[in-house]
Amino acid sequence: MLSTDPASLKKTVTGIEGFDEITGGGLPQGRTSIVMGGPGSGKTVFALQTLINGARLSGERGIFVAFEENSRSVIANAASFGWDLSDQDKLLFLDAGMSPDVVQTGRFDVSGLLSDIRARFTENRATRIVFDSIDVLLALLDDPFTERQELYRIQDWMAANNVTGIVTARSLSRSGYPTLGYDFLEFMADCVVHLGHHIVKGIAHRDLRVAKYRGSAMHEGVFPVIIGAHGMEVASPIPVEMTFPSSTERVSTGIERLDTMLLGGYFRGSTVLVSGAPGTAKSTLAAAFADASAQRGERCLYVSFDESSTEIVRNMASVNLDLGAHVEAGKLRFYSVQSSAFNAEQHLLAIKAILLEYQPDCLVIDPLSAVLRSANSEAVLDVPMRLIHYTKSQGITMLSTSLVANSESPESTEMNVSTIADTWIHLSFKVQMGERNRLLTIVKCRGTGHSRQGRELILSDAGLTLSDVYLAGGEVLMGTLRWEKEEALRRERALTHSGLLKRERELAVAEAEVRARLDVLNRELELRRAESAALAEEIRLEQLQADTSANEIGRRRGIDQAQRPP
């Protein structure tokens, strides 16, 4: 922030959005400011708007001295910006245009003009005064010495009366630099403002630069200017310090598998970039995000360039995204416009106006690259950076799409806008065997881990899905090739499984046969064991009988105990 300490220099607020921020409070109070620019750059608008805002915002009276246009034209032109000056009693308009015949007679200087202004000044008690198109007056003098003398006389009068003066002068340079020999104006003034008017790719661009500001700091650089329905607006400088609130809350991408890859979705209030070649489904991914936002009960603004909202609603219905229902419910609003209709700054102004009025939770810009193509190359990142600054300050989650810059660098975006995104998702085509398939990868995601694996993005009437790709020998297979490879693997597994089942059955039969043989052998063993037992019993009985018979014979023969057989 620039210092606006009144002890250093008192300033007069212009009320022109952006300019007071650039200068840290407005124009120097009680001093002279020069506004220079080419035709159509907005010199008169700047001066008149400052005068009107002084009357409306601060109650300050002012005088507008016109050297080129008559006061009736100035008042009529002001009406086009919604400024009704017919009942404005704090402003006074003076026609100071003079005929060249007056100068040629040698009877011309600014004494009479200053006398008239002094009388009006005293009567009106004005604190602001505008000398519009002072170069017309200087051209009539046709003498460099006289030009300086008369202009310094005007400046001395303003300084003596503590009047805040604005002097406008034309310049043939489109950048606003003096080219008519009036460079002494810049040395004379306390504040010098250059207004530029350029044509880039058939689109008009205006810009502003504060070239000089005595006794005060200011933001240096060139700032885009818009002259719209309510007058002039100047792009606000991007703050040096970034103090946005950061949320850990996640919001869904609209694709369940992508939420998993991002460990829960996008961070709320973050900036998401989806890049890719034409046809890779960037808009479809954006629509899925908008659909998820509406399903959560949140509001989403969908800014579409070069495609109508009805076409988007129709096209997304083919992938089971009913955006029309969300529009009817008030949860989704479309803003569709031709990218070539305005310059980038005008687009930004329109988007910010809708954001301020609609107050959405999410924002889709599709595609952001269309806006950047209409921007000045010197400040191509300025527009998206200021839009991101605004959305982050409001906690709005923004998703934008961007066309890839060229096929040689497939992960480079137009104007390198990827550097300012928090999450970058890249979509590409994988062409194999005459088939084109979509590949999704996450290039980066600040503040969280994420999957490093590519996934095939499949669009169908059932919706959006992500499928694993197949890696074979370092090559990524997708689509039909992936299906064929997986099908071949399934068949191979089926055959392997079938062979294993057959072998299992064979082993079961062999085991059954062995068990059968074992049963036979066991029965034969039992039989043999029974036979052996019977034989042993028979031998025992035979021996017992033999012993009994021997004892009986001995008894009958009278054999004594010692003679008996053992």
* CB burial readout 197-228, b (16+ within 10 A) else e: beeeeebebbbbbbbebeebebbeebbbbbbe
Find the range with the poorest average confidence among 43-57, 126-140, 246-260: 126-140
Pairing verdict, β 223-228 and 203-213: antiparallel
Evaluate whether residue 473 is within a structural domain: yes
Q: Among 176, 210, 234, where does a domain finish?
A: 234
| Preceding amide of 237 cis, omega within 30 | no
Q: Which has more pLDDT, 139 or 108?
A: 139
Shared-domain flag, residues 263 and 326: yes
Q: Which has more pLDDT, 498 or 33?
A: 33
Confidence band (pLDDT; 50, 70, 90) for 204?
Answer: confident
For the cut 50, the answer to whether the pLDDT of residue 176 exceeds it is no
Shared-domain flag, residues 180 and 293: no
Q: Mean pLDDT, the chain, as a whole number? A: 84
pLDDT at 310: 95
Q: Round to whole Å and give the CA distance between 71 and 94.
A: 6
Q: Round to whole Å and give the CA distance between 395 and 88.
A: 41
Evaluate whether residue 560 is within a structural domain: no
Q: Round to whole Å and give the CA distance between 184 and 189.
A: 9
Shared-domain flag, residues 66 and 195: yes
Shared-domain flag, residues 169 and 61: yes
pLDDT at 562: 54
Q: What is the DSSP letter of 237?
A: P
Evaluate whether residue 499 is within a structural domain: no
- Structural domain of 50: 11-234
For the cut 80, the answer to whether the pLDDT of residue 14 exceeds it is yes
Q: How far is CA 119 from CA 63, 87, 97, 107, in A?
A: 12, 22, 18, 21
Evaluate whether residue 504 is within a structural domain: no
Highest mean pLDDT among 37-46, 199-208, 399-408, 434-443: 37-46
Closest CA to 289 of 306, 301, 307: 301
Confidence band (pLDDT; 50, 70, 90) for 341?
Answer: confident
Cα 117 to chain center, whole Å? 52
Confidence band (pLDDT; 50, 70, 90) for 454?
Answer: confident
Contacts 24+ apart (CB under 8 A), 230-234: 230/81, 230/82, 231/16, 231/45, 231/49, 231/81, 231/83, 232/16, 232/42, 232/45, 232/46, 232/49, 233/16, 233/17, 233/18, 233/349, 234/16, 234/17, 234/18, 234/19, 234/22, 234/208
Shared-domain flag, residues 207 and 286: no
Evaluate whether residue 336 is within a structural domain: yes
Give the chain's domain count. 2
Q: Are 225 and 35 in contact (CB under 8 A)?
A: no
For the cut 50, the answer to whether the pLDDT of residue 6 exceeds it is no
Confidence band (pLDDT; 50, 70, 90) for 173?
Answer: low
pLDDT at 22: 92
Shared-domain flag, residues 363 and 477: yes
Q: Among 234, 262, 292, where does a domain finish?
A: 234
Tokens matching residue 409: 């660098």
CATH of the domain at 432: 3.40.50.300
The verdict on pTM exceeding 0.85 is no
Evaluate whether residue 535 is within a structural domain: no
Share of the chain above pLDDT 90, in %: 36
Longest distance between any two alpha carbons in the chain, whole Å:
199
Confidence band (pLDDT; 50, 70, 90) for 564?
Answer: low
Q: Which has more pLDDT, 417 or 155?
A: 155
Q: Which has more pLDDT, 383 or 213?
A: 213
Q: Among 202, 234, 266, where does a domain finish?
A: 234
pLDDT at 553: 81
pLDDT at 228: 83
Shared-domain flag, residues 393 and 263: yes
Q: Which has more pLDDT, 313 or 86?
A: 313
* Span 52-91, pLDDT tens digits: 999 988 889 999 998 888 888 888 888 888 888 876 788 9
For the cut 70, the answer to whether the pLDDT of residue 374 exceeds it is no
Evaluate whether residue 541 is within a structural domain: no
Share of the chain above pLDDT 70, in %: 84
Shared-domain flag, residues 198 and 259: no
For the cut 50, the answer to whether the pLDDT of residue 233 exceeds it is yes
pLDDT at 470: 65
Shared-domain flag, residues 16 and 136: yes
Shared-domain flag, residues 228 and 255: no
Average pLDDT over residues 186-210: 86
Evaluate whether residue 379 is within a structural domain: yes
Q: Which has more pLDDT, 529 or 321?
A: 321
Shared-domain flag, residues 162 and 90: yes
Average pLDDT over residues 285-308: 96
Shared-domain flag, residues 38 and 185: yes
Q: Round to whole Å and give the CA distance between 112 and 154.
A: 12
pLDDT at 62: 92
Confidence band (pLDDT; 50, 70, 90) for 188?
Answer: confident
Confidence band (pLDDT; 50, 70, 90) for 111?
Answer: confident
Q: Residue 50: CB partners within 8 Å, gap ≥ 6?
A: 12, 14, 15, 16, 27, 128, 130, 166
For the cut 90, the answer to whether the pLDDT of residue 427 exceeds it is yes
Average pLDDT over residues 316-332: 96
Q: Are 42 and 206 in contact (CB under 8 A)?
A: yes
* Span 210-224, pLDDT tens digits: 999 998 988 888 888
Instruction: Note the helical H segments in 318-443.
Output: 323-328, 344-358, 368-372, 382-394
Inter-helix orientation angle 282-295/309-317, to 10°: 90
Q: Round to whole Å and give the CA distance between 159 and 476.
A: 76
pLDDT at 90: 87
